[in-house]
Homo-oligomer: A and B are copies of this chain.
Amino acid sequence: MMIDKSSAKPYYEQIVLLIKAQVLQGILQPGERIASVREMARQLLMNPNTVSKAYKMLEMQGVIMTVKGRGTYIAEQQATVRDDVKIAQIKHKIQDLVLEARYLSVDKTELTTWITEQYGRGQVNAND
Contact = CB atoms under 8 A, between A and B. Distances in A.
Contacts of A80: 103-105
A118 interface: yes
B118 A95 contact: yes
Given A115-B108, A115-B115, A103 B24 contact: yes
Contacts of A119: 98, 102, 108
Interface stretch (A28-36, A39-47, A85-93): A85-93
A57 interface: no
A97 B93 contact: yes
Nearest to A120: B108
Interface of A: 17, 20-21, 24, 61, 79-80, 82-83, 86-87, 90-91, 93-106, 108, 111-112, 114-116, 118-119, 122
A116 B76 CA distance: 34
Contacts of A116: 108
Given A21-B99, A96-B17, A97-B97, A90 B115 contact: no
Contacts of A79: 105
A80 B79 CA distance: 43
